[in-house]
Structure 1
């Protein structure tokens, strides 16, 4: 196993990020929309305050340090590959002000008197030199994570668990949809310091099987459902969320609600890249991308769970079509 970056190297990397212009941005458009705002690493590092544990005023691991730690480990494991600068999206701003401005009306505050950090942050690092093609779509390897401070207990002392989400997968450059599967996702990594966080990042990246992931997605392009099956699947999807709890336990989960299913239905007819064929049929690769495309309207803290669920769901359909099992959504 390769040596992990030390704390001093993390701090050195942070300094390099600020003092070196990372002009080579990700080639993709926004990977998530919802209520998010694009943000530069420089702004997060220099302008955002860091939340602290209330009982001892010790800082949590910052979003900036999370990004740098991930970048350093990606650089170690994918040595020689091109790694683009992070694409970052934030949401849920937490605003404040310095003590000297406590009595000022909000509309009279100067910029230097305001403080801010964002409760939720998601970032992606694109590795454009690791790529493949599925059904005419180019996919590049992506690594990233989510830091949502609302999942941490800030009314505690340093040493309490801090929560992170990590992923490695592919991005479809046609539509910027993220493709993530179970072995490339840590839904809740609990750590108490930066060293544990780095170890978790390393383990995830080292254990991920990118070739198996690509084969699984490639297989989807070989199976299709009819327009009638699509309509049945969508109707069952709407019914699923209202099933009695006991019945729901017997059916593989579908994490998509009416808003996302509406988008899937609309894009079945209108999406320029993944709509139905002339006879109404749609292959499972296209169906999968309709779901991952609809996922862009999801908030940051639920985005990756739904991304993984999209692949699981479409694979259930695949196994049903292949005669390996039955699917409640198609029956």
Structure 2
């Protein structure tokens, strides 16, 4: 893997990852300080034991990245959240919402996603700069908080971020899906193991192959049409087709990008290479909700690779 020149005196980073627009739909950008200082921590109601906080989750992965990639440039986490669960302190129970002071409000976020970029580790595919990126996803809606404290679910991933558009490229060998842990220390250990054993050469070689394979405008139209049909096709007739997790709304974004995207749109003759098509899907995926983002990221890779094999 090609490495960039880095500062050997690199210490604790102060910059946020290059861009926090890795996902956009129904999300807000927040800082780690906000998660640590301003957010309450949900508990398991039967024993009043705290859950692992979103801040602890982010910090555990951040520490693992710094350990495994010691000496590399590691940027600070970029964090996006959705579905805020709001409350107020008892003293403010009779106040109108517009009269509440900040200290009288409480909040935590049901869904959180973050990325940590390692820009000194990168690869160039089809003139696109891809930098190594690690991240995590957490959803409190997947937990049963009405019982006693038990293992909690998290997702951790490693992949590449396309610096042109902030699209995330994640493959099946770069994800820990629904790990169940009891402590932030266990998150750190599981993440460190994933990062140590991750080998990206096969995935990057696949991306390079895609850049050299084109489909015609007619083939693209047939592909999009078949994808749309899958959403309405009877279950029995779907046998033999690869799993397709994208919706009509996503396909509309892919089509719009085919005609208008200055980086990944069609060529003059209407053809498009598979790398560009893949990026149209990863771009459309930024309109997904946080809890669906990773499964669609992986599905995008599967869809394009199946097309390559079919061709």
Number of aligned residue pairs: give it. Answer: 301
Segments of structure 2 that go 5 or more residues without pairing to the other structure are 1-10
Q: Which residue of 1 aligns with 2:33?
A: 42
Q: Which residue of 1 aligns with 2:294?
A: 304
For the Cα contact (< 8 Å) 1:183–1:207, is it kept in 2? Answer: no
CA distance in 2, matches of 1:21, 1:88: 18
Q: 1:59 aligns with which of 18, 33, 50?
A: 50
Deviates more, 1:210-219 or 1:282-291: 210-219
Q: 2:133 aligns with which of 138, 142, 145?
A: 142
Q: 1:273 aligns with which of 238, 246, 263?
A: 263
Q: The residue matched to 2:49 in structure 1 has which SS? A: coil
> How do 1:15-164 and structure 2 match up within 5 A?
23-158=14-149, 160-164=150-154
| Cα deviation digits, residues 206-235 of structure 1 (max 9, x gap) | 221122221111111011110000000000
Deviates more, 1:265-274 or 1:238-247: 238-247
For the Cα contact (< 8 Å) 1:121–1:300, is it kept in 2? Answer: yes
Q: CA RMSD in A?
A: 1.4
List structure 1 runs of 4+ shifted beyond 4 angstroms. Answer: none
- TM-score of the aligned structures, taking structure 1 as reference length: 0.88
Q: 1:210 aligns with which of 189, 197, 200?
A: 200
Q: Which residue of 2 aligns with 1:16?
A: none
CA distance in 2, matches of 1:247, 1:272: 37
CA distance in 2, matches of 1:66, 1:289: 29
Q: The residue matched to 1:107 in structure 2 has which SS? A: helix
Distance 1:117 1:99, change over 3 A: same
CA distance in 1, matches of 2:199, 2:236: 35
Q: Which residue of 1 aligns with 2:277?
A: 287
| Cα deviation digits, residues 165-201 of structure 1 (max 9, x gap) | 1110000001110000000012211122223222221
